[in-house]
Structure 1
Amino acid sequence: MSMYVVIDLDIDDPAGFQRYVDAVTPLIEKAGGRNIVTDDNCLVLEGDWRPSTLVVHEFPTREAVRAFWDAPEYQPLKALRRQYSTVNVVVGEGS
């Protein structure tokens, strides 16, 4: 069953954050994931949630998400991401 990583992303420094994107994309792909949504103008239909940028990654399994998130090579990139942005991240299983 596919897993979806949903990210509420607020970028503080676009140029700096691009360094993170360039480094993390190959790691996402290595874990079998892919980016399916990046939207900085998403449509809010109800509620108070207004992400600056909505990002969704798809992974083949929960184990693939954990392999990516816990990978030793990703750990320094988390610090880089935090330097240039603020995020909220949740993972949900597709139906």
Structure 2
Amino acid sequence: MPAYAIAHLRTPNPHPEVLEYLERIQSTLDPFDGRFLVHGADVDVIEGEWPGTVVVLEFPGAEQAHDWYASPAYQEILRLRTDHIEGEAIIVQGVGPDHDSAALAEGLRADSAP
């Protein structure tokens, strides 16, 4: 099951250290089969507020995503971004092609029944 690392970058900033981070990040992703799905695109806000931009990385699974984030190679460059851009980052497990939200709702309803 794929997993995703998602970053909400509230204050994107082309600081020289951020540019170095961008130059170096792909080599930290490659050993974990990570790839960019969304990277700094314009955000079309349709509900609420969303300052900044978003980055979405895909990994084969949550273990690879966590291993990438904790890797010495990524930890070595992380501050190049976090020292200059405010934001949040999460890792989240994806769903499979057979995911059924109606079945999920049915299970949740059954679990909450008295």
**Shorter-chain TM-score tier:** 0.7 to 0.9
Unaligned runs of 5+ in 1: none
Give 1:41 deviation, angstroms. 1.6
RMSD over aligned CA atoms reads 1.6
Aligned residue pair count = 94
Q: How does 1:7-22 map to 2 (within 5 A)?
A: 7-9=7-9, 10-22=11-23
Q: Which moved more, 1:26-35 or 1:85-94?
A: 85-94
Q: How does 1:42-61 map to 2 (within 5 A)?
A: 42-48=43-49, 50-61=50-61
TM-score (norm 1): 0.86
Give 1:29 deviation, angstroms. 1.8
Give the aligned partner of residue 74 of structure 1: 74
TM-score (norm 2): 0.73
Structure with greater helix percent: 2
Contact 2:4 2:62 in 1 (8 A): no
Q: Which structure has the larger Rg?
A: 2
